A and B are shown apart, each in its own frame.
Chain A
Amino acid sequence: MILTMKTFRSIATHIASSSWGIVVEGVYIVLLLLLFYSIVLICSVLIH
């Protein structure tokens, strides 16, 4: 894809219009990592 100003503007528009969706995807990943952290704590308690 040839990177022209039009392409950059189009990508910036897409980022702006989809920012809410990107935040939602980020929230899921944060929750997943918190779940992993709690799993480590539970496993540690169970094993020790």
Chain B
Amino acid sequence: MISRPYPNDFRLISNQIGKVLCGISLLYSIPCVTAVACGEWDQIPDYLISFNACFIAGLIFIFFGIGATGRMRWVHSMVVAAFSWFIADPLCAMPHYLSGHFASYFDAMFDVMSGFTTTGLILILDLDHISHSLNMWRHLLTYVGGQGMIVLVLAFLVRGTAGAYMMYVGEGKDEKLLPNVIHTTRAIWIISTVYLFLGTAVLLFVLEYEGIAFPRSLLHALWLFMGAWSTGGFAPQSQSILYYHSVYVELVTLVIMILGSFNFVLHYAVWSGNPREMFKNIEIRAFTVTASLTFAILACALIRSGVYADLVTVLRRGSYLLISGHTTTGYMQVYANQIIQDWGELATVAIIVAMAFGASACSTGGGFKGLRTGIVAKGLYHEIKRIMLSEDAYFLTKFHHIKDIILTETHVKMAGLIIICYVAIHLIGALIGSLFGYPFVNALFECVSAGSNTGLSCGVTAPAMPALLKGYYIFAMWAGRLEFISLFGLIAFGISILRGK
């Protein structure tokens, strides 16, 4: 029998959502400081209004959660994770809309969800002339979204660990670096902060070398790092990486994108004196194989089409876009319409497949994830071996992820189920796009880009696109980022409200 939630269940959920919103409201201090430092006095009221709205909304949720007793259960955590993202979206869209760079509030919400989910699709108007503080806010959202909003709150606000692990899992990160989940979330932020300093310093050096004056070079270095590390793909200029016309900027961001797509557990293992993990880990092996195969298809397509005269350009353009797609970052150094028109359908399909495979589990990226791809490949290998051997033969298949793990039917079933969910949202999105008159390949490209939180665009995403398609992409970005786990929890909670007794 399904039991209907008690008022205490709602109080527990409301209390946690309130804490998350109060935590997010503190982030407004960073664009506010940027506005003061850059003398953008007109922008400061936007952030103060937005901070107040977000903080008051958080307090209201905490007020409704007063008197909550008992422990958080899985379903509570899933609802908190799923709802926090949806409630934070309109609250964080205020500075966007107040800037006057969006055609509607819905468009501003689209960009914020794109930032939080580290997607990178944008509907902003005249990106090249927005204020420094708004650029800081956009990139901060994607940087925080990459690590996880709830991870942020767990790391710095929550004192007790009751229910913390469940919320951490609900946000699409289901592996612990350390036995304690609070320590795990802090370790994630330490890794990100170390690379933030290193990556920004290297990019600052490169941008200064390319002739961009200080302090603009520092801001661009910081934002490019945030966009690449979080695999968000936001850039301060509308032409993305193409704006810089620099092979060095491409090379540095390429390295940061790949680093950002690694599992935090892998970073921690390698940093803690286990360098062999880098070459034994199933996710790295899966990434190497899928990236190589898709790049081989892309390279063949580019060479055959003759769009580039020499092999170095094929390598430069092809590998950058392929890695950008595979790590689900979305940085581009070609024009959006160039992908399908000039590169051809075979190259487009290679990038679609790379985007769908995506980055590693427990990383800032999206997509199927290397762990699931590796597990399904190992499952196929196990089945083929079982057929080849005699019926009485008993054998085990193992995979290596930090330690050797025996492959079970549950591993394969869970990985397969999530991959099916991803494929379903990609195909539904492509069908909706086709119904609105977009060519199927274009619609599929854009929806895979949204669902896998990549952000590469072939031109479908634009302020003039149908509102229903915008709404579907928001849903696809959100569901894809939370890896459906919280979506299942939300559906279960909804059913228990309607059908419970």
Binding site for B on A (CB under 8 A): 1, 11, 14-15, 17-18, 20-22, 24-29, 32-33, 35-37, 39-44, 46-48
Asked whether, in the complex, the Cβ of B299 is within 8 Å of the Cβ of A43, the reply is yes
CB closest residue in chain A, given B296: A39
Chain B residues near A41 (CB-CB < 8 A): 311
Asked whether, in the complex, the Cβ of B300 is within 8 Å of the Cβ of A46, the reply is yes
How many chain B residues sit at the interface, stated as a range, is 20 to 34
Asked whether, in the complex, the Cβ of A25 is within 8 Å of the Cβ of B303, the reply is no
With the chains together, A26 CA to B198 CA distance in Å? 13
Stretch at the interface among B42-50, B85-93, B173-181, B266-274: B266-274
Chain B residues near A15 (CB-CB < 8 A): 194, 197-198
Chain A residues near B169 (CB-CB < 8 A): none
B295 in complex: contacting residue of A21, A36, A46, A47, CB < 8 Å: A36
Chain B residues near A47 (CB-CB < 8 A): 300, 303-304
In the complex, besides A29-B258, A41-B311, 4 extra interface pairs with C-beta distance below 8 angstroms are A15-B194, A36-B295, A39-B296, A47-B300
Q: List 12 A-B contacts (CB under 8 A).
A: A11-B193, A14-B190, A15-B198, A18-B271, A20-B273, A25-B262, A25-B278, A26-B255, A33-B319, A44-B299, A47-B300, A47-B304
Chain B residues near A28 (CB-CB < 8 A): 278-279, 284
Q: How far is the CB of B328 from chain A (nearest CB, A)?
A: 16
Say if the beta carbon of B315 comes within 8 Å of chain A: yes
Say if the beta carbon of B494 comes within 8 Å of chain A: no
Chain B residues near A29 (CB-CB < 8 A): 255, 258-259
With the chains together, A29 CA to B291 CA distance in Å? 12
Say if the beta carbon of B292 comes within 8 Å of chain A: yes
With the chains together, A20 CA to B296 CA distance in Å? 32
Q: How far is the CB of A17 from chain B (nearest CB, A)?
A: 8
Q: How far is the CB of A27 from chain B (nearest CB, A)?
A: 8
With the chains together, A40 CA to B318 CA distance in Å? 10
Say if the beta carbon of B275 comes within 8 Å of chain A: yes
Chain A residues near B318 (CB-CB < 8 A): 40
Asked whether, in the complex, the Cβ of B296 is within 8 Å of the Cβ of A1, the reply is no
Chain A residues near B319 (CB-CB < 8 A): 33, 36
With the chains together, A20 CA to B275 CA distance in Å? 8
A-B contact number at CB 8 A: 74
Q: B250-293 toward A: CB 8 Å interface, digit per residue (1/0)?
A: 00000100110010000100111101001100001000100110
Asked whether, in the complex, the Cβ of A14 is within 8 Å of the Cβ of B292, the reply is no
Chain B residues near A20 (CB-CB < 8 A): 273, 275
Q: How far is the CB of B193 from chain A (nearest CB, A)?
A: 6
With the chains together, A47 CA to B255 CA distance in Å? 29
B267 in complex: contacting residue of A17, A21, A40, A43, CB < 8 Å: A21
Q: How far is the CB of B309 from chain A (nearest CB, A)?
A: 12
Asked whether, in the complex, the Cβ of B311 is within 8 Å of the Cβ of A32, the reply is no
Q: How far is the CB of B258 from chain A (nearest CB, A)?
A: 5
Asked whether, in the complex, the Cβ of A32 is within 8 Å of the Cβ of B198, the reply is no
Chain A residues near B352 (CB-CB < 8 A): none
Say if the beta carbon of B314 comes within 8 Å of chain A: yes
Asked whether, in the complex, the Cβ of B197 is within 8 Å of the Cβ of A25, the reply is no
Asked whether, in the complex, the Cβ of B194 is within 8 Å of the Cβ of A24, the reply is no
Asked whether, in the complex, the Cβ of A24 is within 8 Å of the Cβ of B278, the reply is yes
CB closest residue in chain B, given A14: B194
Q: How far is the CB of B416 from chain A (nearest CB, A)?
A: 27
Q: Of residues A18, A29, A46, which shows the largest number of chain B Cβ atoms within 10 Å of its Cβ?
A: A18
Chain A residues near B272 (CB-CB < 8 A): 21
Asked whether, in the complex, the Cβ of B315 is within 8 Å of the Cβ of A40, the reply is yes
Asked whether, in the complex, the Cβ of A21 is within 8 Å of the Cβ of B258, the reply is no
B197 in complex: contacting residue of A11, A24, A26, A33, CB < 8 Å: A11
Q: Which 10 residue pairs of A and B lie closest in terms of their CB atoms, listed nearest first? A: A21-B271, A18-B271, A24-B275, A21-B270, A43-B299, A36-B319, A43-B300, A40-B315, A14-B194, A47-B303
CB closest residue in chain A, given B30: A1
Asked whether, in the complex, the Cβ of A32 is within 8 Å of the Cβ of B190, the reply is no
Q: B100-119 toward A: CB 8 Å interface, digit per residue (1/0)?
A: 00000000000000000000
With the chains together, A44 CA to B39 CA distance in Å? 54
Q: B179-221 toward A: CB 8 Å interface, digit per residue (1/0)?
A: 0000000000010011001100000000000000000000000
With the chains together, A25 CA to B255 CA distance in Å? 10
Q: How far is the CB of B414 from chain A (nearest CB, A)?
A: 28
Chain B residues near A11 (CB-CB < 8 A): 193-194, 197
Known: A25-B259, A29-B255, A47-B304. A39 touches B299 (CB 8 A): yes
CB closest residue in chain B, given A15: B194
Chain A residues near B315 (CB-CB < 8 A): 36-37, 40
Asked whether, in the complex, the Cβ of A18 is within 8 Å of the Cβ of B295, the reply is no
Q: How far is the CB of A18 from chain B (nearest CB, A)?
A: 4
